[in-house]
Amino acid sequence: MNSTTPNHTNSCEIPYKEENTLPIVALYSTVLTVGLPANLITVFLTFLEVRRKNVLGIYLFSLSVCDLIYLSTLPVWAIYINKGHRWDWGSLACKVSSYIFFNNMYISIFLLCCVSMDRFIAVIYAVESRGLRKMKHAVMVTIVIVLVVAVGHVPVFTMSEGDTEEEKQCFEPDEPSPLVTGFNYARFVIGFFIPLCILVVTNLAILANVQASAGLESGKKVKVRNLALAVILFFLVCFTPYHVILLLRAINFHFSNEKCDFERKIYTPYTISLGLSTINSAINPVLYVLTSNSVHTRIHNGLQGVRSSLRSSSAFVF
């Protein structure tokens, strides 16, 4: 799952057969087992928050829906890796699955920025935030993020690395090209470095403001602090290794004559970085837990609301 366009005439031979596939397959299976029910519950709960006109609920709901779409492709990736990186479902399925992967990663990154910006405005500009934080603004921002990321990754469908009829590999590292190198620089700067700066600046400001606040209850201080730290931690763990490798590959293209040798050496760290990025889909629901006063209470109240609605509908029908 890598957004490079390979040069098949000078293809780098990656030693797939020497790779121990069990850890990655086990990781993907664990992420699916944990992430699927966790995100289903979060979608339900955040939808209730959206109905209550909670601005933050818009971003968390969108994040969970995005994660659910990606999690639906994990069985395919697990089977692919378990079969020794052999893709048997055709080029279109390869490109669609990869397109979903890339969209999930960058929509998640930008939505995490939205969560941080929303918390920043709510904490730093507590009074003014009533006019700044509106549902329609959150909906518009989310739609723009999804459209920009989706359109930006349409070239995935034109990349020859997704053509699996001959080599049977789906978007694996290969000998880089100037176009791919430029694309990797852009992904590092726009999709990682700038969002990282936004996350660090906004969350450090939140932490400083909360720490200095004398009127805020200690329990609320802890909740705000935990959310700020969790967003930064999740981002660093899940996305930093992958984007650092993208940057190293781009730099290596300009300063090394042994490009394929480098690609072979970095393949194992690259695979690990993909696994870490996948974990993001299982741990994003933790953000909802950190923003909620009582998850158990909200689940109970939500189910009670559903039961009441069903009873009302039954009474109406009969």
Low-confidence residues of the chain: pLDDT under 50 = 2-10, 294-296, 299-300, 302-303, 306-307, 309-318
Place of tokens 């941080």: 116
User: What CATH number does residue 254 fall under?
Assistant: 1.20.1070.10
- The pTM score is 0.84
Sequence-separated (6 or more) residues with CB below 8 Å from residue 94 = 87, 162, 164, 170, 171
What does the alpha-carbon distance between residue 123 and residue 114 come to, in Å, rounded to a whole number?
14
User: Is 301 a member of any domain?
Assistant: no
User: Is 298 a member of any domain?
Assistant: no
Tens of pLDDT along 164-183? Answer: 877 778 888 776 677 778 87
User: Is 219 a member of any domain?
Assistant: yes
User: Is 310 a member of any domain?
Assistant: no
Q: What integer pLDDT is reported at residue 216 of this predicted model? A: 66
CA atoms within 13 A of residue 233's CA, in its CB half-sphere: 10
100 is in which domain, residue-wise? 19-292
What does the alpha-carbon distance between residue 213 and residue 118 come to, in Å, rounded to a whole number?
19
Tens of pLDDT along 19-59? Answer: 678 888 999 999 999 999 999 999 998 998 898 888 889 99
CA atoms within 13 A of residue 303's CA, in its CB half-sphere: 6
Query: Could you give the number of structural domains in the chain?
Result: 1
CB distance 280 to 239 below 8 Å: yes
Sequence-separated (6 or more) residues with CB below 8 Å from residue 245 = 266, 269, 270, 273
User: Is 33 a member of any domain?
Assistant: yes
Place of tokens 């069990």: 22
Nearest to 146 by CA among 234, 73, 58: 58
Q: What integer pLDDT is reported at residue 317 of this predicted model? A: 34
